[in-house]
Chains A and B, each alone.
Chain A
Amino acid sequence: MTQIPKKHVIAVLIDNEFGALARVVELFSARGYNIETLSVAPVSSDKKLSRITITTYGTDKTIDLICKLLNRIVPVHNAVELSKNIDYIERELALAQIICSKEQLDNACEAIKDFRCQIIDREEDSTVFEIIGTSANIDNVLEILNNYGLATVSRTGISAGFKGKKRLDQI
């Protein structure tokens, strides 16, 4: 296994209770690992089960150990590194506000028309785009919007899962 830090995507099914997220996050911080993105929300109809998606950078060996340690946490049902298997899907959502003239806005819309973006709010010279895609695509859009008065950005971090029929709760 390589000892070079690289990107890893981890998905966790966990009881939706206080302290649970802290237990997960502390496994990373205790090893000096930064969590790049984190998304968490209840996913079962009774709201008792949450799903967490984490991206982080680390060595394969440490991430392997972290996944085992995640599974040892009492409220965790399953924890799996999705990126270990290249067949995974990910999406992220971002809100990007640009402040510019009407003419510049038209140019901006033209420049990003090939991406999944739509305007969800406008007030005077302020426009907010909703951008959906892979993290890389969102990076690309933001890069372009930099030229059109990009003011504020809010990103959700990725949600991710296996490709095909495989399910996290059936691992």
Chain B
Amino acid sequence: MSELKETNKYSGAEIIVRALINEGVETIFGYPGGAILPLYDALFKQNKIKHILTRHEQAASHSAEGYARSTGKVGVITVTSGPGATNAITGLTDAYMDSIPLICISGQVATTVIGTDGFQEADITGLTRSCTKHNYLVKNINDLGYIIHEAFHIAKTGRPGPVLIDIPKDIQNSFADYFGKNEISRPSYQIKKRLSNLNHDNINSAVKLMASAQKPIFYTGGGVINSGDEACQLLVKLVHETGFPITSTLMGLGAFPASDSHFIGMLGMHGTYEANMAMYECDLLINIGARFDDRVTGKVSGFSPNSKKIHIDIDECSIDKIINVDISIVGDAKQAISAIIEEWKYLKLTNRKKQISDWWNTIKKWQDINSLAYEKNNKVIKPEYAIERLNHFTKEYQPFVSTDVGQHQMWAAQYIQFDQPKKWLTSGGLGTMGYGVPAAIGAQIANPDSLVICVSGDASFMMNMQELSTIKQYNLPVKIFILNNRYMGMVRQWQELIYEKRESQSYMESLPNFIKLAESFGIHGIECNKPDNLDEKILEMINHQGPVLFNCEVEKSENVFPMIPAGSAHNEILLGKQAKQYVTKDINAV
């Protein structure tokens, strides 16, 4: 880094490193290869940025997501051209769906070779155009520094998202001036920012609706967490000022403390009975930072049929996309919530819990149904029980919990209580199996002294289990807790309920010996298949200083309930004991 060329110019690779340092980047995740070697050489010569070598580029991208989600910072990955970059695409798409700020720097073949089917050449800007917020192919070394800073600006402002910068090898090797971090001057992007200035009339109309509602409910999502810790604190304040019940999406868990009495659980396909019934019966729905995902709405025509709807979102594209609303407020959650609280106070409104006591009583009746109850068993471990015990013993540490995708993900969402934002790392929009282990790596790197748990399933874990090697290399005390039922559990559940139990390709006839697998990576393995031993084994896992791979063998045929079958409305929610009555309504619903 320090060696200055005769001309006082820096190589492209040095400019990248300097620009990353100027953006405050401390950690990057990546994997070297031919077209990115100049950058890796520049990384070798400096000591400000720590590079984490994953074992697969997909894992690098999920690790960066875990890092970003758990800190609120931008995650950075560096990959080589061709397969390096295409491997990262799943992570970029995942980040795009869940609004996570990422920068992906990909090497590219030299500008003179682009378009000639060169070795490890892929049109990565073309391939990622629809899964990034923006992307760049750097063709002129003089643009490089500015582009990196603009990319960071775009990734973290507005609705956050992934941005890819494709940098040909000859650009990394050529020389130019670098003037540091200058102001970002992109008129087309400034216009978008102007659009998200709050409309005060809409705030006023929203508060008036809130003041007269008899059956109101807050429905909040990941946008509140993305808006920052202050937004989450303001949300708590708003809920307490109004006395309204609140439910959260999968992505929003932790924005509002789960232990607060106003919280009525997660809503949606596997949400609680009370949350879904309240959504169906409410007369005012206040959506803050959620996007009416189909896993939340169920059948759109039957979604919250009798309510007025307020939608607060930073992305205008989310407004009226799926559900038409009465009042839309385009803007940042923190500013919007703050403005609503101010307006609430300005109009001298007070806590309405008493005025809406009928509504709270109704909700109480729904809560009494206890939709998360499950049959106890003292011979085999019920997966719900395993997660309950895990939550019981780890709650005091306020752990970071990542998950993969499937049944275990839903049980974790249902039975683990999140009282703080940024602790819950899950792939919500894209539903990416293989997300959990690398995301936990990213979270542990960012929070070295915290307890980080990856709740996984046997099938999901095996999609990125090579990362045990990364965990060992950096001695990360990640606890991987596998609910092992030898199935792709959620696939099997749908096959049971919708395809008359035809278990097509969802059973894993061969699984590794997880203890030996862990040992072969130099990691402590724990196995448990008896409910009586579970507590002791969980404590062993928590108390072990290093990483742990925990193989928890659970009931094979357990299903996740409650369940709103795809294509049904919230009031058609099924509880565990009703499963047998299930009849497919819409064969095309996914």
Contact = CB atoms under 8 A, between A and B. Distances in A.
B306 interface: no
B317 A26 contact: no
Contacts of B186: 74
A72 B129 contact: no
Contact of A71 (B125, B133, B135, B192): B192
Contacts of A15: 188
B316 A71 contact: yes
Contacts of A22: 126, 129
B188 A30 contact: no
Interface in A110-163: none
A64 interface: yes
B317 A68 contact: yes
Contacts of A75: 188
A158 to B, nearest CB: 24
Contacts of B133: 74
A35 interface: no
Interface in B315-349: 315-317, 319-321
Contacts of A78: 191
Contacts of A89: none
Interface string A55-77: 00000000011001101101111
B105 interface: no
B237 interface: no
B189 interface: yes
Given A69-B317, A74-B154, A18 B137 contact: yes
A81 to B, nearest CB: 15
Nearest to A70: B317
A23 interface: yes
Contacts of B259: none
B187 interface: yes
Q: How large is the interface on B (under 10, 10 to 19, 20 to 34, 35 or more residues)?
A: 20 to 34
B130 interface: yes
A14 B189 CA distance: 11
Contacts of B130: 26, 30
Contact of A74 (B126, B188, B316, B320): B188
A71 B320 CA distance: 15
A40 to B, nearest CB: 16
A72 B315 contact: yes
Contact of A68 (B125, B137, B316): B316
A72 B330 CA distance: 13
Contacts of A72: 192, 315-317
A19 B317 contact: no
Contact of B137 (A19, A65, A71): A19
A74 B129 contact: no
A15 B321 CA distance: 26
Interface string B473-510: 00000000000000000000000000000000000000
B537 interface: no
B73 interface: no
B353 interface: no
Nearest to A64: B320
A137 B244 CA distance: 61
Interface in B111-159: 125-126, 129-130, 133-135, 137, 154
A121 to B, nearest CB: 35
A19 B188 contact: no
Contacts of B192: 71-72
Interface string B77-112: 000000000000000000000000000000000000
Nearest to A65: B321
A23 B129 contact: yes
A18 B135 CA distance: 11
Contacts of B187: 77
Nearest to B191: A77
A74 B317 contact: no
B485 to A, nearest CB: 37
Contacts of B195: 71
A34 B316 CA distance: 24
Contacts of B126: 22
Most buried by A among B133, B188, B317, B319: B188
Given A76-B188, A77-B187, 7 more contacts: A19-B135, A23-B129, A26-B129, A26-B130, A72-B316, A74-B154, A75-B188
Interface of A: 14-15, 18-19, 22-23, 26, 30, 64-65, 68-69, 71-72, 74-78
17 contacts: A19-B125, A19-B129, A19-B135, A19-B137, A22-B126, A22-B129, A26-B129, A26-B130, A65-B317, A68-B317, A69-B317, A72-B316, A72-B317, A74-B133, A74-B188, A76-B188, A77-B188
Q: Closest 5 interchain pairs by CB? A: A74-B134, A68-B317, A77-B188, A75-B188, A68-B316
